[in-house]
């Protein structure tokens, strides 16, 4: 069966909208972006649902736009309606300043959009490049992350940081993300030693309208308080 090369998916954001002026401001800003369709925007529910495709800005870029330009706290709450996964990336002992998030959104045809934003590469030389791939194990116990085993699926090679940030956005064919849950996503250096710079365990993520919580059960904080805490960590 032939499948269109460009597939769409929904992304749900929680946005701290306090009035209709916030809603209008968001609509005006998003109308300037390519391949972004607003499926729902609600001030009462503080919900924004967009339809994106591989030509659209990433969910991370849209989140950054709403927070940095419009000054509206924004959280990605769910992606896609088939299967989604996420990895919270942390650096190894030798690269403690590296951190980021990666997301996978897959459709029923085993097509997947991978999107990652990883910070902490300000000290990298202009010639440094990195590989991104899925490794055998989700064991992050070793300080050098060698416990994750060998790479079993390559996502990207020779990726270079821009202004200290590694940005990867790629469509992947013929992958079943459900079989990768519990394995690890790793960023490795192209140097002689092939150091593992950072890694995360790949975890199943919420789909659209699957995550309605407003208070964290662990901390008792609202999702906005949790967002503020997370932002302060990376100042």
CATH number of the domain at 83-204, out of 2.60.40.200, 3.40.50.300, 3.30.1360.30, 2.30.30.760? 2.60.40.200
8 vs 188, more confident: 188
Is residue 3 pLDDT above 50, yes or no? no
Domains in the chain: boundaries: 8-81+207-233, 83-204
Listed range (43-47, 165-169, 227-231) with the worst mean pLDDT: 227-231
Give mean pLDDT, residues 171-177: 90
Q: Looking at the structure, give the CATH architecture of the domain made up of residues 8-81+207-233.
A: 2-Layer Sandwich (3.30)
Note the helical H segments in 121-220.
Answer: none
> pTM value?
0.80
Q: Is the dihedral of CA 18, 21, 25, 31 positive or negative?
A: positive
The label of the residue with tokens 């989140």 reads 63
In a 13 Å sphere around the CA of 28, the CA atoms on its Cβ side amount to 8
Give the span between the Cα atoms of 62 and 51, in whole angstroms: 12
pLDDT band, residue 4 (cuts 50/70/90): very low
For residue 228, give both structure tokens: 């503020």
């Amino acid at each position: 069966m032939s499948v269109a090369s460009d597939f769409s998916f929904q992304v749900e954001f929680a946005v701290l909208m306090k009035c209709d002026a916030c809603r209008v401001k968001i609509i005006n800003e998003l109308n300037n972006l390519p391949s972004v369709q607003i499926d729902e925007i609600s001030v009462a529910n503080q919900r924004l649902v967009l339809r994106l495709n591989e030509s659209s800005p990433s969910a991370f870029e849209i989140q950054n736009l709403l927070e940095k330009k419009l000054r509206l706290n924004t959280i990605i709450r769910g992606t896609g309606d088939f299967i989604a996964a996420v990895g919270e990336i942390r650096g190894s002992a030798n690269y403690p300043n590296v951190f980021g998030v990666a997301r996978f959104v897959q459709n029923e045809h085993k097509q997947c959009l991978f999107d990652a934003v990883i910070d902490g590469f300000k000290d990298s030389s202009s010639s440094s490049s990195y590989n991104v791939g899925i490794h055998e194990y989700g064991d992050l116990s070793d300080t050098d992350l060698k416990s994750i085993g060998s790479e079993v699926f390559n996502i990207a090679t020779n990726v270079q940081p821009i202004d200290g940030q590694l940005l990867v956005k790629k469509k992947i064919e013929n992958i079943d993300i459900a079989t990768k849950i519990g394995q690890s996503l790793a960023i490795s250096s192209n140097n002689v030693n092939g150091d593992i710079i950072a890694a995360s365990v790949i975890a199943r993520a919420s789909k659209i309208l699957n995550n309605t919580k407003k208070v964290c059960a662990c901390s008792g904080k609202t999702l906005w308080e949790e967002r503020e805490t997370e932002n302060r960590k990376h100042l």
